[in-house]
Structure 1
């Protein structure tokens, strides 16, 4: 669950002056950090249960339709088996990357030509 005293991410982003000059990729990574931090405890970690909830609420377009894939099942099983376990930001990023690479949306995006 998000911290009740957390500052909205949009407000956090607008308050970081360096991002005004940042690239799209830098902004995307900064947003990921801010979303994670808004849910992490004071130790900078999230419970695996919270990570699973975050994936279902904030990453659903990448996880949609993945339930039958063995790798997805393996990742979810790891989150379910040890609900008292904690996840650091670095492990969270690896999880996001793994979920992204196996997603159907990733393949659709890669096949789309940039129209700029």
Structure 2
């Protein structure tokens, strides 16, 4: 009887040891986490769902001037301490602001193609 208990305990320990490392990875994958974006950078993707060509922006201070993007973007990850405003007009003019990307956040779909940031 003691032998059965020891065998069962050993089997449970082995099972727990093999499942524990894979469970968090499986959960993260299932959650649809955005792809890796460098620390202190903002990554803006051509298509929804963090796909297509990526534009990586790096800032040493809060962006204070409008800048056009090399392509339209539809999703993004912001790993900076700065709040980004995204615009559908290349000059960030008027009321064309369409999306915001707060510090340390991600958005899988901006719902419109965007062309500039501030």
TM over 0.5: no
Structure having the higher helix fraction is 1
Does 1 or 2 have the higher relative contact order (CA < 8 Å, sep 6+)? Answer: 1
Greater C-alpha Rg:
2
Give the alignment's TM-score, normalised by structure 2. 0.26
Structure having the higher strand fraction is 2
